[in-house]
Chains A and B, each alone.
Chain A
Amino acid sequence: MAHIQLKNISKSFGNHTALTGLNLDIADGEFFVLLGETGAGKTTTLRMIAGLEKPTEGQVFIDGVDVADWGAAERDVALVLQQYSLYPRYTVRENLEFPLKPKIRRLPDAEIKDRVARAAKTLRIEHLLDRKTDRLSGGEMQRVSIGRAIVRKPRVFLMDEPLSALDAKLREALRTELKNLQIQLGATFLFVTHDQIEAMSMGDKVGVLNHGRIVQTGTPHEIYNNPRDTYVASFVGSPPMNLIDGRLINNRAVMAPMNFELPLSGGAKGFGGAKTGAATEGRPLVFGIRPEDVYLESGAPVEARVHDVENHGVEKILTLRVGDTTLRATVSARTDVAIEQSVRFAWNADKVVLFDKGSGVSLRHAS
């Protein structure tokens, strides 16, 4: 169990800068999810904590100790990779025993047996123990590679998109299993993913990484409801937050290109904080509203046409068209709508997030 800190980490590969000024603080026993698009620098961050890569600048601390000169073995971390990296030609049991058998730290046989049995039981792979690894399915392989991580009781678990190569059903099942495992072990987990659903459902804390910089760190709830900027707003959530250009005039949101208005009671102060309140009036803004906070109502202020309907069973995602701009709304599956039908909508004004048009930063986060 360990507390991990990254201080002002930068990493470049030749001319390509992968990470710039990265700061991270992962508390002991926390399930931290690093979320970002492909190429954002997630894997590099992970490999630097594991000791497989050295930072160009900055320091990595494990339990308050600078581990710059430590190799992967001394850092005592476990790494689960997307491509499983099981040792070929060995059985599942031999793979699980591998980390326990090096001569230097060889454990007594009884202890090895016991640990393998326990890991196999936790991951439900007991029936596979004597099978060769090339005869396993993707999900089984991933369980074995997680198993190889947990037999050792490392200080930190690092997971590099372990679920992204699996099919949807299995991914869901393993997601729950991993989360339970983390609670059961009480271990520090750093989980890297590009899948915002994984981040939302598993993380105690989520860090959003964009182009080698941490954009926002917070609980899933914070990230979802109070995104720091338009990038986070559009990256997290499926469908993403609606972002509409407009201005705030007399407690009303006036959407410039769409020529429609919505009430925004409470005024700028409620959204921008006291400092920015005065300057908010009339300046170019981006209004962010989650699709589930847009609702249809017969007496609502804005008229739109239904552009598209996506039926997800539990809900329907509507794409509404006003003028030549569109926005999404999540409605109950029972709502009866047809494409090109005319509807009226309103928004849940408390949930609106205001972003500065120029910088894209939320007014609530701007200092």
Chain B
Amino acid sequence: MATAVMTTLDPNSRSAARGMSDLTIRNLFIIPTIVFLIVFNIFPLLYSLGYSFTDFRASSPAPANFVGLQNYRELLNDPFIWSNFAITAKYVIVSVVGQVIVGFGVALLLNRDIPLKGLLTTLLLLPMMLSMAVVGLFWKLLYDPSWGVINYALGLGNFEWLSNPDMALYAVAITDIWMWSPFVMLLSLAGLSAVPKHLYEAAAIDRAGSFYTFFRITLPLVAPILMIAIIFRTMEAFKTFDLAYILTSQPTTEVISIRLYKMAFQEWQTGRSCALAYIVLIMVLAITNIYVKYLNKVKER
């Protein structure tokens, strides 16, 4: 079937002269990727599934013993793990909602004829291009209570952003919002510019106000692509590690991936951390599935 859709090779091309068929060329492109995926993704995934049923510790030479579902049972009954999940959920909600509001808002502002629009858009996209670690380090400086720019600019005196346990998670979320709102903005902008202009004109003629037009025309038409942005950002936020790890080490900011990291590489509970990783994976899959279901519903409408 795959060969049926392929076009035949131009008999005069260089590839043909070298005696390569369509199939050879296709394989040349695809096989390296597949090998890479299997070695670095699929294999570790399955291997860690095996470990999740053992009491294996990577730090000790002792052989792994099969313990069945014990790791899963203990993890799901551990109140500390649940509090990690609660922190993660709070973080995901704050940061994704923030990104959607800021990103979509900026996209609305950019979606009109303004001078230097291209340059402005490019500049706004910069935070997204930075490395997480760099962003973390920079914001640590910005948040500094005694000489940080943020306290200076907002006139907050010595307000402690990162060492205040109630504030630290929000500080991390704000940084994440700063970094990833451009992503939501970019997708929203694509969605907004795809709304036909004549619909807005028709709405203006129909004497619809700007709010009415926004909620009845703009939002429904941008919803599918906005949903995609939300799916991506939720998955990413759920897995957040570097930003939170670099910025602060409060117990109130111990999101699930930090707990996982500590379990695996500080406490060396390899088997148990594999089980936790699987629990996280299943949760992310479940959430994504709910979103995708909803996305399809939005698209159908």
Bound pair: A and B?
yes
B216 within 8 A of A: yes
Flag if A88 contacts B221 (CB, 8 Å): yes
- A-B contacts, 17 of them at CB < 8 A, read A50-B205, A51-B204, A52-B204, A71-B204, A72-B201, A72-B204, A76-B207, A77-B205, A79-B205, A81-B202, A85-B201, A87-B202, A87-B217, A88-B220, A101-B212, A102-B206, A152-B207
A103 at the A/B interface (Cβ < 8 Å)?
A: yes
B198 / chain A contacts, CB cutoff of 8 Å: 81, 83, 85
* A-side contacts of B217, CB under 8 Å: 87
**Least Cβ distance of B193 to chain A in Å?**
16
Q: 8 Å CB contacts to B: which residues of A72-92?
A: 72-73, 76-79, 81, 83, 85, 87-89
Distance from B139 Cβ to chain A, minimum over Cβ atoms (Å): 41
Q: B11 — which chain A residues lie within 8 A by C-beta?
A: none
Q: A79-B201, A81-B198 are in contact. Are A87 and B209 (CB under 8 A)?
A: no
A98 vs B205: C-alpha distance when bound (angstroms): 11
Q: Report which of B196, B199, B205, B209 forms a contact with A102, defined as CB distance below 8 A.
A: B209
Q: How many angstroms between the C-alpha atoms of A48 and B196 in the bound complex?
A: 20
Q: Do A85 and B207 form a contact, CB below 8 Å, given A79-B201, A79-B202?
A: no
A87-B216, A89-B220, A89-B301 given as contacts; is B206 within 8 A of A152 (CB)? Answer: yes
Report whether A98 and B204 are in contact in the complex, using a CB–CB cutoff of 8 Å: no
- Residues of A within 8 Å of B202, CB to CB, are 79, 81, 85, 87, 148
Can you name 10 extra interface pairs (CB under 8 A) apart from A103-B211, A148-B206?
Answer: A52-B201, A72-B207, A73-B204, A76-B207, A79-B205, A81-B198, A81-B201, A85-B196, A89-B221, A89-B301
B129 interface residue (CB < 8 Å to A): no
Which of B201, B206, B209, B221 makes the CB contact (< 8 A) with A98? Answer: B206
Q: Are B207 and A73 in contact (CB under 8 A)?
A: yes
Residue of A with least CB distance to B206: A99
Contacts of A169 in B (CB 8 A): none
Q: Chain B, interface size: which category?
A: 10 to 19
- Chain A, residue nearest B301 (CB): A89
What separation, in Å, do the CA atoms of A81 and B201 have in the docked complex? 10
**Interface size of A in residues (CB-CB distance below 8 Å):** 25
Q: How far is the CB of B122 from chain A (nearest CB, A)?
A: 26
State the CA gap A50–B205 with chains docked (Å).
7
Q: Does B285 touch A at the CB level, under 8 Å?
A: no
A182 to B49 Cα, complex, angstroms: 74
Q: Give a binary string over B85-119; 1 marks a CB under 8 Å from any A CB, 0 the rest.
A: 00000000000000000000000000000000000
CB-CB < 8 A to A78: which residues of B?
Answer: 205
Instruction: Give residues of chain B (150-207) contacting chain A, Cβ–Cβ below 8 Å.
Output: 196, 198-199, 201-207
Known: A85-B196, A89-B221. A105 touches B201 (CB 8 A): no
Which residues A55-81 have CB closer than 8 A to chain B? 71-73, 76-79, 81
Give the shortest distance, in Å, between A135 (CB) and chain B (any CB).
12
Question: CB-defined interface of B207-225 with A at 8 Å, one 1/0 digit per residue?
Answer: 1110110001100110000
Residues of chain B lying within 8 A (CB to CB) of residue A79: 201-202, 205
Contacts of A173 in B (CB 8 A): none
A72 contacts across to B, CB distance below 8 A: 201, 204-205, 207
User: Which residue in chain B gives the minimum CB-CB distance to A47?
Assistant: B201
Query: Is A110 positioned at the interface, with any CB of B under 8 Å from its CB?
Result: no
Cβ contact within 8 Å between A98 and B199: no
Min CB gap A77→B, angstroms: 7
Provide the bound-state CA to CA distance between A72 and B210, in Å. 13
Cβ-closest chain A residue relative to B195 = A88
A314 within 8 A of B: no
In this complex, what residue of A is CB-closest to B299? A89
Which of B208, B209, B220 is most buried by chain A, counting CB atoms within 10 A of its CB?
B208
Q: Is A104 an interface residue when CB atoms closer than 8 A count as contact? A: yes
Across the interface, do A98 and B196 meet the contact criterion of CB distance under 8 Å?
no
Q: Which of A87, A104, A148 has the most CB of B within 10 A?
A: A87
Given contacts A87-B217, A89-B220, A89-B221, contact A102 B204 (CB under 8 A): no
A88 to B299, CA, bound (A): 11
Most buried by A among B201, B202, B205, B207: B205
Rounded to whole Å, the gap between the CB of B12 and the closest CB of chain A is: 43
Residues from 86 to 130 in A contacting B, C-beta threshold 8 Å: 87-89, 98-99, 101-105
Q: Which residues of B contact A104 (CB under 8 A)?
A: 209
Distance of A72 Cα from B204 Cα, bound (Å): 6
Distance A52 CA – B211 CA, assembled complex (angstroms): 19
A100 and B188 alpha carbons, distance in the complex (Å): 29
Contact A99 B208 (CB under 8 A): yes
Q: Give the shortest distance, in Å, between A29 (CB) and chain B (any CB).
A: 21
Chain B residues contacting A73 (CB-CB under 8 Å) are 204-205, 207-209
